[in-house]
Amino acid sequence: MREVSFVKRLKFDFNGSVTKRALVIGDADNDAQNELVCANLQGDLAIFKGRNPNRYGYADHLGMVTACAIGDLINSGKNLVAAINMEGWLFIFDVPSTSTTTTRSVPATATTNNDGPHSPNANSLDDTRGLDTVEDASPIEANGERKLVSIYQQRMPANCKELLLADLDGDGQNELIISLTDRVLRTYKWIKIGPSEQGKFVGLYKWEFADQIGSVSLNPSRHENCKDIVVAQPGGTYAKLECFDKKPISSSRSNSHHSEGGDPGDRDEVRTDYVNKLTPEYHQLALSQMRNHHVSTEVLGNIQDGKGSKSCDLIVIATLDGTLMLVNKDEILWSLQVDHQLFALAVLESSRPPKPRGLPQSESTCTIVPSLEYQQSESNVSSTEQKSQYFVACAWNGKTYIIDEERNYLRFKFDEAVSAFTAGNYYFDDSHHACLVYATFNNQIILYYDVLLDSIRPIYLLDEIMNNIEYEDLLGDLHELADKLGLPDGLDEQQQQQTAGDSVQEDNGKTLRLYKAISEILYNLTDEEALSLRKRYD
């Protein structure tokens, strides 16, 4: 197992216990710069911005916050911050940027008394108060921190564990996805009431699963501008929900006999009734019979295929027993087994110049089972730039695995146990930086940045020489040197006879011969022979 050490990091102090869904990276204040948002079970929420160790904004007395989200929750064209606690209270915050004026239009604020969200005056599911213009309730304190006040509160079902935001049905408006600990998944949409911008979240769909929900992710749908929901189930399995898959169930023809003018037969109208496919589509993977059926599972969608585009079927799955898989529907493309309990998945993307393909990586403590059908298409990769995608899996003890789509991998040893983990692009020093974020049990959040390497493939000297046109002369000299040293081809006489005319096998034999030549130069030449060669090639 190859390991890497990251030394560039930022440290933020944040007291309390952070759950794995209450640590997110996103543009919280609509300034095109990503911030870090975190919340704890003690009812505190904090937003960190840039290198500043102090909180950019904070809120308190929110209850046991279990999940956070950043996005356009009410379809107003601007990002808001959402936090939900164990009792089901959803809090929405409008985070002001450094250039925000003191007056803004936001949803109606919750009651300003000290009774908290459980007060009868707080917004509930039936409350119809809407958008009002209010004074900025986030004054800047002496240390530069802002006290945030929720602009909207609503009572949701209790025992929430995860929040997601996506346009599921392609109508251009986001839906709020809530995962519950009682095996239930619900979706909501912000609905405006009346001519003004008053509104509330209204429930759309509800699914109840047979087993506990591990995590929830999103995948591109077969329908344009839509998303599918991917739900992790115990035992390394998952279910997919297609919220927009309309199928015709009946068709009828009607004539407009009562319309004015013209032949009624010329105005036949065909009306087709449709039904949505809302039944979960379960995928029982082949390996599910070989492991504990009750082991907790995590899923990750929005995965690129070998052509560099988002796939509707590729899913990354991690289980608590240390199994990491890339699957396509029911087919396991490759799997990786580690000795640590994986509890979180994330993805990192970057644009890098193309690199020559390396030789297969030798395995030691890990086992990779590849599928020959999953190969990256080189013909669709730009000659000047290609987009790299990395899957990041984190264990409770801090061990972090970074894997690319070609099944090359690295391990990073974070030196503490972690309660939450995420990855993304965090903004500071005038640019976004790919980062790994860990919430520890010591009241700290550690952010490692500049963690994307040029390539995590193993790099071999001979591959660099053979794949780089600048080294053509050197490659010829190596062949000449192999002749002078009397090195045989990599294949014996019997193999040479069997593979006569097979260009692939002949190339493999020449490659092995070059390996021997380089090894001879590095390890076996005497000082006199090395001096003679140096004079020959100087």
Q: What is the pLDDT of residues 106-149, one digit of tens each?
A: 444 443 333 445 443 344 333 433 443 333 456 777 677 899 99
Task: Yes or no: say if 178 and 84 are a contact pair by the CB < 8 Å rule.
Answer: yes
The three-state DSSP-derived secondary structure of 374-389 is: CCCCHHHCCCCCEEEE
In a domain, residue 304? The reply is yes
- The side-by-side arrangement of strands in the sheet containing 342-352 is 3-4, 409-413, 399-404, 386-395, 342-352
> pLDDT tens for residues 118-129?
443 344 333 433
> Looking at residue 425, what is its pLDDT?
94
Residue with tokens 């789509």: 405
Distance CA 386, CA 353 (A): 6
H/E run at residue 74: none
- The side-by-side arrangement of strands in the sheet containing 152-155 is 65-71, 80-85, 89-93, 152-155
Distance CA 435, CA 329 (A): 30
Structural domain total, the chain? 2
Task: Yes or no: say if 193 and 141 are a contact pair by the CB < 8 Å rule.
Answer: no
In a domain, residue 145? The reply is yes
Strands 314-319, 323-328: parallel, antiparallel or unpaired by DSSP? antiparallel
DSSP-assigned letter for residue 190: E
Distance CA 269, CA 148 (A): 55
Q: Looking at the structure, tell me whether residues 339 and 487 fall in a common domain.
A: no
Residues in Cβ contact with 430 at an 8 Å cutoff, skipping those fewer than 6 apart? none
Q: Looking at the structure, tell me whether residues 189 and 313 fall in a common domain.
A: yes
- What does the pLDDT average to over 142-165? 92
Residues in Cβ contact with 195 at an 8 Å cutoff, skipping those fewer than 6 apart? none
- Provide the 3-class DSSP secondary structure of residue 527: helix
Say which CATH number the domain at 203 has: 2.130.10
Residues in Cβ contact with 101 at an 8 Å cutoff, skipping those fewer than 6 apart? 136
> Looking at residue 368, what is its pLDDT?
36
DSSP-assigned letter for residue 140: B
Q: Where residue 254 falls among pLDDT bands split at 50, 70, 90? A: low
Distance CA 243, CA 205 (A): 9
Distance CA 513, CA 484 (A): 12
Which of 285, 320, 348 is at the close of a domain?
348
> pLDDT tens for residues 79-107?
999 999 999 999 999 999 876 544 444 44
> Looking at residue 111, what is its pLDDT?
38
Query: What's the predicted TM-score (pTM) here?
Result: 0.76
Domain span holding position 300: 15-244+274-348
Higher pLDDT: 459 or 148? It is 148
In a domain, residue 530? The reply is yes
- pLDDT over 70 at 177, yes or no: yes
Task: Yes or no: say if 98 and 110 are a contact pair by the CB < 8 Å rule.
Answer: no
Which of 323, 348, 373 is at the close of a domain?
348
Beta bridge partners of 90: 84, 154
- What does the pLDDT average to over 22-47? 97
Distance between start and end Cα atoms, the chain:
39
> Looking at residue 225, what is its pLDDT?
83
- pLDDT over 60 at 359, yes or no: no
Distance CA 84, CA 72 (A): 16
Q: Looking at the structure, tell me whether residues 159 and 34 fall in a common domain.
A: yes
Higher pLDDT: 37 or 525? It is 37
In a domain, residue 312? The reply is yes
Q: Where residue 503 falls among pLDDT bands split at 50, 70, 90? A: low
H/E run at residue 342: strand 342-352
Task: Yes or no: say if 22 and 70 are a contact pair by the CB < 8 Å rule.
Answer: no
Task: Yes or no: say if 188 and 166 are a contact pair by the CB < 8 Å rule.
Answer: no
Which of 318, 348, 378 is at the close of a domain?
348
In a domain, residue 468? The reply is yes
In a domain, residue 269? The reply is no
In a domain, residue 308? The reply is yes
Q: Where residue 358 falls among pLDDT bands split at 50, 70, 90? A: very low
In a domain, residue 439? The reply is no
- What does the pLDDT average to over 160-186? 94
